Structure 1
Amino acid sequence: MPIKTIFSLAEIEPARWDALLPSFQPFLRHAFLSTLEESGCVGGKTGWRPEHRLSFDAQGRLQAALPLYRKRHSYGEYVFDWAWADACQQAGIAYYPKLLCGIPFSPVAGARLLGDCGAVGELLDTLTGSLAEQGISSLHINFTAAATDAVILDRAGWLERIGCQFHWHNREYRDFKDFLDALASRKRKQMRKEREQVAGQGIEFDWRAGGELSEADWDFVYACYANTYEARGQAPYLTRDFFSMLAERMPEAIRVVIARQSGRSVAMAFCLTDGESLYGRYWGCLAEFDRLHFETCFYQGIEYAIVQGIRRFDAGAQGEHKLIRGFEPVITRSWHYLVHPGLRRAVADFLVHEKEGIQQYVASAWEALPYRQQE
């Protein structure tokens, strides 16, 4: 099976890559991943070196692919292995570089092993068999979907790690009031009060698709996005060019809600959609307003999903503030292949105990949901 490593998605035609995708989810599309590369978000000195693996059949047809990155840190992954890296440093084991199969800066579950199952299985086996000789400590596959899990389960040496996110599900609500009516009375009153507090500050909202925003709008979106990181003393992962390039390449997948007060733009939330799900990715504001974050990032997305008939709203990582607003716990899965046998044993033991804690947390989260059946 001919295998090729490409260091830029520009080396493969978009249609050939996208033909391997099992769904229209935007994050795996050639347009999204190549925009990350060409706008400088990955590659160069970012610590994300693209090393995508492709396999071809005897006739030269692309039959499988892995979106793969050589990493020299663990930023932007959202499956946190800093403790593993620290343990390696203390033991004199090199943890970096490592390989990551995933989507940079996007904790969104989906396909990771693209194409024919047999071919991707061979790709995985070839990779894991060559890690040691390449001086690579490990291979990680983050935020997998069921099909990926099924392929990995049949292979030895892989460790499963679970996590928890919170997603909102559309139960065919007629409108936002219909959703509120499904909640316990105290939570229903709390949400109404929060929305009234935002409206009372004279703030209105405007939803736009990617093709409806000007470069001045994108300047504002980026300023808000960057401000969120700068407020925490961090550099933003994405560049200004990323937003304009993505809007040019896949405008139909972009949704931005802009909050305005007296005609002045003050906050925004950037989302992507595939028609079935709405993915809330980035938020930011240029001035502080009471409860504006909850309205912009959660309630606006819920209302938009209801109006558009979107089935699911994934508003990003982290949790309890989503839980009490009707977002349900969802188990996420990632897989890890560690070369050093001692490290593998230690991590395997850690993951057993971590899994027990997460399962207990998820069970408690279900009991804390605000829906009326819990009254």
Structure 2
Amino acid sequence: MSLSLLTQLADIPASQWDALAPNDQPFMRHAFLSALEESGSVGGRSGWQPQHLLWREGDRVLAAMPGYGKRHSMGEYVFDHAWADASQRAGIPYYPKWLSAVPFSPVGGARLLGEAEAADRLLQALPDFLSTHGFYSGHINFNDAALSDRLAEDGRWLPRLGCQYHWHNRGYRDFQDFLDVLTSRKRKQLRKEREGVRQQDIEFCWYQGHELSEAQWDFVYTCYANTYFVRGRQPYLTRQFFSLLAERMPEALRITIASQHRQPVAMALSLVDGNTFYGRYWGCLAEFNHLHFETCFYQGMEYAIDNGLQRFDAGAQGEHKLIRGFEPVLTESWHLLRHGGLHDAVADFLQQERDGVRAWAEEARDALPYRLNAG
């Protein structure tokens, strides 16, 4: 048995990679990760160099861990810029680092794939891999609970808590059924926001990945890219990425397009699995009152209700989600810092931060719009 490095996902058959994944969550699929690589969204000058790990027994791949070599901390949603800055001031190298995550998407799930025994051996070999390949640190973002249990037994890895906001479908028959469990004031607010969008003559159409024309995908990308351009930044994803997703995993894509007087003005692109609706990318060509809330939240909530999905993961940040029914959910990431002094300093910081994150998550529940015992 041995650990090997995979620098492009195209070198392993999709069936072999996907067989290692524990469920149908779309972001770990070969189709999604290879689309990032082949579209140029990662690799090249992006600062995300594919460095996937495989644990082999002869010709058989028994475990895997997607990973990237990085010389910056952009596009991760677990922010370690302050650690890198402090390291630089102290003369301690921080980059390159190795990261296991879904690029540009703060979505939780499995990061260590495959058979339990082989996966454990891969994890045990990871620190030596970092040292041998010149990585000063290793990071695993938004991992699942099973991996946290494994890493907690190894004192070299430091846990970090974060907070996201997820909406839960508690068997609602329709959107009105959801509104009925809210307090009167919050129920009126959501109705007012939705009515404000309707009064602007904005309508919505839903599509799966195979139903969009290339011209419509051009519109989707223009909206997505505009969310970066308005902030003076370049988008992470390329136009080709969206076409590759539509070609390779159309059944997992859900796109809603908002039109005013039959002219498209906004879109939201999401992914689904058997249980969860994942809101990922959105954008608009002009500003409309409450359009963001309707396109990114209420449309997705209605879709989840209508299709029996139990959870709506709307991504990172955004305390404004609380008053719309998205509940605080703690996330975990893990960090291995090879420099002893940096490890100790970050460990102290993370202990204080964890206490603050837990307190915030508890306090945030007070902002939820549910009637007592209804949410």
1:321 alignment partner AA? H
Output the CA distance in 1 between the equivalents of 2:86 and 2:373.
43
TM-score normalised over the length of structure 1: 0.98
Query: Which position in structure 2 is the counterpart of 1:3?
Result: 3
2:321 alignment partner AA? K
Establish whether residue 233 from structure 1 lines up as the match of residue 222 from structure 2: no
1:213-252 map, 5 Å: 213-252=212-251
Q: Which consecutive aligned stretches of 4+ in structure 1 deviate over 2 angstroms post-superposition?
A: 129-135
Output the CA distance in 2 between the equivalents of 1:341 and 1:131.
15
Output the CA distance in 2 between the equivalents of 1:136 and 1:4.
16
8 Å CA contact 2:202–2:261 kept in 1: the answer is: yes
TM-score normalised over the length of structure 2: 0.98
2:27 alignment partner AA? F
Query: Which position in structure 2 is the counterpart of 1:167?
Result: 166
Output the CA distance in 2 between the equivalents of 1:273 and 1:374.
29
Q: CA deviation at 1:3?
A: 1.9
CA-to-aligned-CA distance 1:92-144 (integer Å, 9 cap, x gap): 11110000011101100000001122222222222202433432110000001
Q: CA deviation at 1:75?
A: 0.6
Task: Please state whether the residue corresponding to 2:316 is helix, strand or coil.
Answer: coil
Output the CA distance in 2 between the equivalents of 1:43 and 1:286.
29
Output the CA distance in 2 between the equivalents of 1:197 and 1:259.
14
CA-to-aligned-CA distance 1:61-89 (integer Å, 9 cap, x gap): 11000101000100111000000000000
8 Å CA contact 1:117–1:151 kept in 2: the answer is: no
Output the CA distance in 2 between the equivalents of 1:131 and 1:280.
33
1:17-32 map, 5 Å: 17-32=17-32
Query: Which position in structure 2 is the counterpart of 1:45?
Result: 45
Question: Which has the larger displacement, 8-17 or 128-137?
Answer: 128-137
Q: CA deviation at 1:374?
A: 7.2
Output the CA distance in 2 between the equivalents of 1:130 and 1:327.
39
Query: Which position in structure 1 is the counterpart of 2:141?
Result: 142
Output the CA distance in 1 between the equivalents of 2:291 and 2:228.
18
1:17 alignment partner AA? W
Which segments of 5 or more consecutive residues in structure 1 lack a partner in the other structure? none
Question: Which has the larger displacement, 290-299 or 110-119?
Answer: 110-119
Output the CA distance in 2 between the equivalents of 1:327 and 1:272.
18
Output the CA distance in 2 between the equivalents of 1:19 and 1:147.
18
Which segments of 5 or more consecutive residues in structure 2 lack a partner in the other structure? none
Task: Please state whether the residue corresponding to 1:219 is helix, strand or coil.
Answer: helix
Query: Which position in structure 2 is the counterpart of 1:339?
Result: 338
Establish whether residue 284 from structure 1 lines up as the match of residue 283 from structure 2: yes
Output the CA distance in 2 between the equivalents of 1:105 and 1:38.
16
Output the CA distance in 1 between the equivalents of 2:21 and 2:176.
37
Output the CA distance in 2 between the equivalents of 1:374 and 1:202.
37
Output the CA distance in 1 between the equivalents of 2:197 and 2:108.
32
Output the CA distance in 1 between the equivalents of 2:163 and 2:319.
11
1:25 alignment partner AA? Q
CA-to-aligned-CA distance 1:231-258 (integer Å, 9 cap, x gap): 0111000000000111000000000000
Output the CA distance in 1 between the equivalents of 2:223 and 2:287.
12
Query: Which position in structure 2 is the counterpart of 1:111?
Result: 110
